[in-house]
Structure 1
Amino acid sequence: MTVNETGAKTRAPIAGLAPQGRTASPVATETVIELKGVGVHYGRTHAVRDVSLPVARNQITAMIGPSGCGKSTVLRSINRMNDLIPGAKVTGEITFHGKDIYGSGVDPIAVRRHIGMVFQKANPFPKSIFDNVAYGLRINGMKDNLADRVEQALRGAALWDEVKDNLKKSALALSGGQQQRLCIARAIAVQPEVLLMDEPCSALDPIATARIEELMNELVKDYTIVIVTHNMQQAARVSDATAFYSADVDEAGERFGFLVEFDETQRLFSNPADPRTEDYITGRFG
C-alpha cells in the first residue's frame, strides 16, 4: 500500500498488467446505456444480482471475470437476448438513452436493431457472403441500395478487399477470422448504435485476434462497444472502461454472479479499489 497526497491509502500499480492500448478520455461522455440494480433469474435461480454501471458513447466497455460470474448473461440482457430463454427474467432497469428497454410496449426486435450483437463462435448462415450481410437489411426493410449497403458493411468490418470478388461464394468457406468479421459486417449493416461482442476472439488464433482488436479500435469511432472477454490483456489493450465480475454462493447454496468493481481500464488494472479485483488480475484466483 502507498499513501497519496491527501493521505488516503492506495494500492501500488500491478506489475505487468498496466494497460498497453486505449486510455479512457478524461472528458465526460454521454451515457448511452445504463444498468441500475439489474438482476437475472432463470426460473427460481437468481443467477446475477444487483449490477449497476453506465456505458459511455463511442467507448469500449469490457466485462471480465471468472467463468460463471454472469458477464455474458448481463451482456445478453442489454439487447434482450435473454428473452429467448424459457423462464428467464430480468429485474432492475436497463435504459437506452433514458428509456427502459424492458418497459411496457417496447419491441425487443427494435431493441436488437439498435443494439447489435456478435457471438462467441462465428455463426455465418449457410448462404453466400453477400446474402449473409444482406439478411438483416432485408428483414428490416432496408432494401434500397442493397449492394452499396453490403459493400459499406464489409468495408466497415475490414473484409471487403478479401471477398469483393467472391461475394456469391458460401460464407462457410471463409477462415474462422474472416467468418467472425463477416458476422461483424452483418451486425453493423443495419447501422446499430451499440455493438455487443461476447468473447469474439475466443476461437481465433493470435493473428486473427489482432485483426479483430484493430477492427474494434476502428469501429468505436462510429459505435459504442461492450465486450465480454476472458483475456485480461485484451481488455487492457482495447477498452476504455472495465467491469470486473465475480461469483459467490448464497445461504441456499446457489451460485450467483455480481459486479465487484467498475472503473476506467487504466485505473482498474493499475490500481484496483477492491482486493478481489487485484487477486483476480494478478492470478491469485480465477
Structure 2
Amino acid sequence: MTEIGTPMANVTVRGPEAPRNLEALDPVFTVSDLSVFYGDYEAVREVDMLIGNREITAMIGPSGCGKSTVLRCFNRMNDLIPGARPAGKILYHGEDLYGDHVDPIEVRRRIGMVFQKPNPFPKSIYDNIAYGPRVNGMKGKMDDLVEQALTQAALWDEVKDKLKQNALSLSGGQQQRLCIARAIAVKPEVILMDEPCSALDPIATTKIEDLMQQLARDYTIVIVTHNMQQAARVSHRTAFFTAEVDDKGVRHGRLVEYDETSRIFTNPTDKRTEDYITGRFG
C-alpha cells in the first residue's frame, strides 16, 4: 500500500479540502443498498454512500462500472429508459426520491444535469437561459435572472454584448458553460455532471474545473469523470466503482471505496482502488 502523502500514478491532489468526515456529513443524498436493473440485468448492485451538502463528489472507475447509471438515479433520468428500475433507497434530505408522491419533473428542477456533450438549444443565448425559468413560472425580472445565471457560470463578460446570437455559434467550452448556466437558472440545489469536460480542450477544461469549485460554495455537485487528475483536482470526496464478473460470467457495477479524495489517491484501503489509480488495470 502506498504511504500516506505519496500521490500515486503522478496524480497531484490539490483539490478543496474535505470539510467533514463521513460520520459528521450533512447529507443531501443518502444511498442505501442501491441496485439498478435494466430489465432482468442488474447493472449496478448494492451501493451505499452519502453525498455531502455543498461538496464536490467525484465518481471514477473503468467503463461499464455503473457510475453514470448511479448518477442518473439522483435526478431520476433513468426513468426515461424503458425497463430501467432502481432497488434500494435514495433519500433526498430524508425523503424517498422514488416515493409515490414524488414528482420526477420537480426532482429534475431541484437536481440539474449537465451532460457529456454540450447541448444548447438552437435558440439565442438569452433564450437558452430564460427557457427554464419561463417554463417553471419563475417570477422576477428575466433580464436579471439571465445575467445572474451567466455570471455564476463565468460566461457573462464573454456574451453580454451578443445575447441575441445563436448559442450554437459559441465555442465548445462556452457552450458547456452555457449549459451550466441554463441548469443554474432554475435555482437547483444539486448539479450533476456526466463527464462535462471529455469533449473539451485543456483550456476549456480548466475553466470548467475552476467554475465547479466556485459553484460548490452554493451548490452540491456530483461529477462522473474518467480523468483521475480531474477528480483529484476538484473534488472533496471520490467514489471508486469497478465492474465485477459473477459466477455466471455477468458483469455488475460495484462501489469499491468511497472516501475523502486525498485518501483515495494517497492511501486507499482497497487494493482494487490502488490498482486502478496506479494504472494496473482499467
Interval of TM-score (by shorter of Structure 1 and Structure 2): over 0.9
Asked whether the equivalents of residues 11 and 272 of structure 1 are also in contact (C-alpha less than 8 Å), the reply is: no
Q: Which amino acid aligns with 1:25?
A: P
| Alignment-derived partner of residue 7 in structure 1 | none
Aligned-partner Cα distance in 2 for 1:100–1:60 = 22
Gap regions ≥5 residues in structure 2? none
Correspondences of 1:1-286 after superposition (within 5 Å):
1=1, 13-15=6-8, 16-26=10-20, 28-286=24-282
Gap regions ≥5 residues in structure 1? 3-9
| Residue aligned with 2:87, SS | strand
Aligned-partner Cα distance in 2 for 1:217–1:272 = 24
Q: Which amino acid aligns with 1:93?
A: K
Distance apart, 1:105 and its partner CA: 1.3
| Residue aligned with 1:46, SS | strand
Asked whether the equivalents of residues 18 and 266 of structure 1 are also in contact (C-alpha less than 8 Å), the reply is: no
Give CA-to-partner distance per residue, 1:101-139, whole Å, 9 cap, x none.
Answer: 001111001111111110000000000001101111111
Give CA-to-partner distance per residue, 1:205-254, whole Å, 9 cap, x none.
Answer: 00000000000010000000000000000000000000000001222322
TM-score, L = length of structure 1: 0.95
- CA-atom RMSD, angstroms? 1.4
Aligned-partner Cα distance in 2 for 1:56–1:168 = 38
Aligned-partner Cα distance in 2 for 1:18–1:270 = 10
Distance apart, 1:20 and its partner CA: 1.9
| Residue aligned with 1:244, SS | strand
Aligned-partner Cα distance in 2 for 1:12–1:179 = 37
TM-score, L = length of structure 2: 0.96
Aligned-partner Cα distance in 1 for 2:192–2:249 = 32
Asked whether the equivalents of residues 60 and 224 of structure 2 are also in contact (C-alpha less than 8 Å), the reply is: yes
Give CA-to-partner distance per residue, 1:176-228, whole Å, 9 cap, x none.
Answer: 00000000000000110011000000000000000000000100000000000
Aligned-pair identity (%)? 66
Asked whether the equivalents of residues 15 and 236 of structure 2 are also in contact (C-alpha less than 8 Å), the reply is: no
Q: Which amino acid aligns with 1:237?
A: R
Asked whether the equivalents of residues 180 and 200 of structure 1 are also in contact (C-alpha less than 8 Å), the reply is: yes
Distance apart, 1:30 and its partner CA: 1.1
